[in-house]
Amino acid sequence: MAKHDRRTSRRQPSTSRSVSIQVPLPVLAVLGDVRQAFHGLCISTGMQVLQAMQEADRDALCGPKGRHQPERTAWRGGSVESHVTLGGRQVGLPRLRVRNADGEVPLASFQWAAATDALEAHTLEAIAAGVSTRRYARTLDPVPAEVSERATSRSAVSRRFVALSTQQLRAFVSRPLGELDLRVVCIDGKVFKEHCIVIALGIDTAGRKHVLGLREGATETAAVSTALLNDLVTRGLPTERAMLFLVDGSAALRRAISDVYGSLGVVHRCQVHKYRNVLGHLPERLHASVGRALRTAWDLHSEATAKRALERLARSLEDEHPGAAASIREGLDETLTVLRLGLTGPLQRTLRTTNIIENLNGGVERYTRNVKRWRGGQMIQRWVASALLEAEQRFRRVRGYRDMRHLVAALDALAPPEVDVEQVA
């Protein structure tokens, strides 16, 4: 066991600069790290640690209490009631005071404690778990009876979450995308009252999912979708190579992809959305048979064979149910894009629908279910961004990710050949 050095270090004159924090050796022996001590110990011990840190700071500035030091430039000034955040609650703690000829000298330890907000992580984790601000205080560990506490009211927690989620939103919408090596982008909208939040989810060449961005608008219009895509491009989404876009069939979104990516925007229409749309034009007695015919066609391995099967189905419905026939023909080729790219197995099943972003939207809905009243688009964006970031922590690679190399090769084959400028010259 190492021996403790009992020698007292030489005291330095008081200055306005920050001083190093000296913590009693027994505390360091237990935890070794002041930040770890502050967050790891229970509330009572954490308060003792902070008090010891303040005392050490004050000793460094004023010298040991009870010893005459003519050369000292600062003196003790008593204490004043203040508070810090511990274990998810703001608790009362005396702030030790030091003064010199110029006025009060701040203690570095208390400045750090006041700036370090342990409630941040606790608040977001509680809300992510579905705890409303009304019930937040009940989720916290109890504090000792002798410790006063405050700032767990509904309004205090709401204000704290507004500040945290605003900070998250700013960071979220400015994240660079250039190094992600993305080849698939899935876009979908989610409606909140009079607002629509359009969300973009990307898949990189290793099959990892990434939340790319969001945009707020009145509806899922071409202008909103185009603004979202342009923002992604500005942040590094490549436009010089083909990109696979998974969409639900929105004409506005389709137009936005064409405007931003042109021929390099390879669109696949979600087969589940098309399935529902076709059956919506039919009486219930035909749902089973027509649904089976649609699934059989999409399960074929050849684009040409699948297209013939779908056209045959449309002709069989044309006389009696022209709406269903028109729905089958509308965007027919784009429901077969994954077949045209030669995808098979789990990766084809993953990419032929927009389920990956539908599941993400479901997580957003669960995250925001305790919001009783939406107060404008900014509030909606904050909550959705927080929900997306929380969901992103649990992302797994898509099923069939080992076949992403085949998708990359197929997309690269669609890109126009590069022109050798020197050879042309």
Query: For residue 379, what are the contacts with CB-CB under 8 A and spacing of at least 6?
Result: none
The tens digit of pLDDT for each residue in 84-102 reads 775 556 778 888 999 888 8
Cα–Cα distance measured from residue 307 to residue 312, given in angstroms and rounded to the nearest whole number: 9
**Residue ranges covered by each domain of the chain:** 19-64+73-116, 118-141+150-172, 179-414
The tens digit of pLDDT for each residue in 111-157 reads 877 776 544 555 555 555 555 555 555 555 565 665 565 555 556 55
Neighbours of 351 (CB within 10 A): 26
| Band (28; pLDDT cuts 50, 70, 90) | very low
pLDDT at 21: 44
The tens digit of pLDDT for each residue in 333-356 reads 999 999 999 999 999 999 999 999
pLDDT of residue 159 exceeding 70, the answer is no
Cα–Cα distance measured from residue 398 to residue 209, given in angstroms and rounded to the nearest whole number: 7
Which amino acid is residue 27, in one-letter code? V
pLDDT at 418: 55
What token pair was written down for 129? 């778990």
The residue ranking higher by pLDDT, 415 or 364, is 364
Task: Please say whether the beta carbons of 183 and 244 come within 8 A.
Answer: yes
The average confidence (pLDDT) of the chain is: 79
pLDDT of residue 325 exceeding 70, the answer is yes
pLDDT at 69: 74
Query: For residue 23, what are the contacts with CB-CB under 8 A and spacing of at least 6?
Result: 34, 37, 49, 52, 53, 56
pLDDT of residue 307 exceeding 80, the answer is yes
104-108, 166-170, 406-410: segment of lowest average pLDDT: 166-170
| Band (391; pLDDT cuts 50, 70, 90) | confident
The residue ranking higher by pLDDT, 322 or 6, is 322
CA distances from 386 to 123, 151, 172, 174, 368 (A): 12, 22, 9, 14, 10
DSSP element (H, E) containing 74: strand 74-86
The tens digit of pLDDT for each residue in 48-83 reads 667 777 888 888 888 888 777 777 788 888 888 888
- Which of 9, 10, 41, 16 minimizes the C-alpha distance to 26? 41
The residue ranking higher by pLDDT, 139 or 360, is 360
pLDDT at 133: 56
Cα–Cα distance measured from residue 176 to residue 355, given in angstroms and rounded to the nearest whole number: 25
pLDDT of residue 279 exceeding 80, the answer is yes
Rounded to 10 degrees, the C-alpha dihedral 389/391/392/393 comes to 100
Task: Please say whether the beta carbons of 228 and 259 come within 8 A.
Answer: no
Predicted TM-score (pTM) of the model is 0.66
pLDDT of residue 234 exceeding 90, the answer is yes
Cα–Cα distance measured from residue 55 to residue 105, given in angstroms and rounded to the nearest whole number: 14
